[in-house]
């Protein structure tokens, strides 16, 4: 091999070594944006799991569903015996004068208007916005004008009036208010009853 060829091989080797060294030490710099700052690193869109919040529930106290009733006036009667069969009372009786306005305890939608002569009389079933709760208003004297199944109700909106229909007893004017936790697919008359008293007794809204 000639001296010239050896020199060329040595020069080529040195050039290759220098290129490798520079490639290993060069730091990639983000291209600047219009304001001279590095462009932000793109992030992937949030997944459904990241967007999903905690399981919905009755959050905080409900509004008292009878106008003019203060929280201090409520008395728990959950589990009290009712009727000849001594069935347990599953709700809260709120005593008030006849025709006192009954208002929605929370936002939701009227799911069922129902009359039961031997039970709650004139009743209204309201489902919560998330569909997981039913609010039950019974012994109404009548519904408020414009109330119909499928209508949206805002908390505090008048839906009916205190009465003594059904098995309340003549002159025993009060609202029977019930709350039920609903499983997927359960209808208005189903669900698991929950004691409304703790949800109402802490309310700051007396109607």
**Is pLDDT of 206 > 50?**
no
Instruction: Please check whether residue 27 lies inside any domain of the structure.
Output: no
- pLDDT for 65 equals 97
Instruction: Please check whether residue 138 lies inside any domain of the structure.
Output: yes
Instruction: Please check whether residue 178 lies inside any domain of the structure.
Output: yes
At residue 51 the predicted structure's pLDDT band, cuts being 50, 70 and 90, is very low
- Residue 95 structural domain: 71-201
Instruction: Tell me if residue 21 falls in helix, strand or coil.
Output: helix
Query: How many structural domains are present in the chain?
Result: 1
Contact 200, 74 (CB under 8 A): yes
Largest CA-CA distance found in the chain, in angstroms, rounded: 125
- pLDDT for 102 equals 98
Instruction: Tell me if residue 6 falls in helix, strand or coil.
Output: helix
* Residue with more model confidence, 189 or 81: 189
* Residue with more model confidence, 55 or 205: 205
Contact 160, 122 (CB under 8 A): yes
Query: Domain containing 165 — which CATH number?
Result: 2.70.70.10
At residue 84 the predicted structure's pLDDT band, cuts being 50, 70 and 90, is low
Instruction: Tell me if residue 16 falls in helix, strand or coil.
Output: helix
* Across 77-81, 102-106, 193-197, least confident range: 77-81
Instruction: Please check whether residue 207 lies inside any domain of the structure.
Output: no
Per residue in 140-155, pLDDT tens? 999 999 999 999 999 9
- Give the DSSP letter of residue 72: G
For the chain, give the mean pLDDT: 75
Instruction: Please check whether residue 19 lies inside any domain of the structure.
Output: no
* Residue with more model confidence, 53 or 102: 102
Instruction: Please check whether residue 147 lies inside any domain of the structure.
Output: yes
Q: What is the mean pLDDT of residues 26-40?
A: 38
């Amino acid at each position: 091999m000639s001296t010239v060829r050896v020199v060329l091989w040595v020069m080529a080797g040195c050039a290759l070594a220098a290129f490798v060294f520079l490639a290993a030490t060069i730091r990639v710099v983000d291209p600047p944006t219009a304001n001279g700052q590095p462009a932000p690193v793109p992030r992937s869109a949030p997944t459904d799991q990241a967007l999903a919040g905690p399981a919905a529930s009755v959050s905080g106290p409900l509004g008292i569903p009878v106008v003019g009733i203060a929280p201090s006036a409520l008395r728990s009667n959950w589990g009290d015996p009712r009727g000849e069969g001594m069935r347990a009372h599953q709700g809260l009786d709120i005593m008030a004068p006849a025709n006192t306005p009954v208002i929605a305890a929370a936002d939701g939608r009227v799911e069922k208007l129902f009359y039961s002569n031997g039970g709650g009389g004139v009743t209204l079933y309201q489902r919560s916005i998330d569909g997981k709760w039913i609010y039950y208003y019974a012994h109404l004297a009548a519904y408020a004008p414009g109330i119909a199944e499928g209508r949206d109700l805002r908390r505090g909106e008048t839906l009916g009036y205190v009465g003594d229909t059904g098995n309340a007893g003549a002159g025993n004017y009060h609202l029977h208010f019930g709350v039920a936790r609903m499983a997927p697919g359960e209808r208005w008359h189903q669900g698991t009853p929950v004691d409304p008293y703790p949800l109402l007794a802490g309310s700051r809204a007396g109607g």
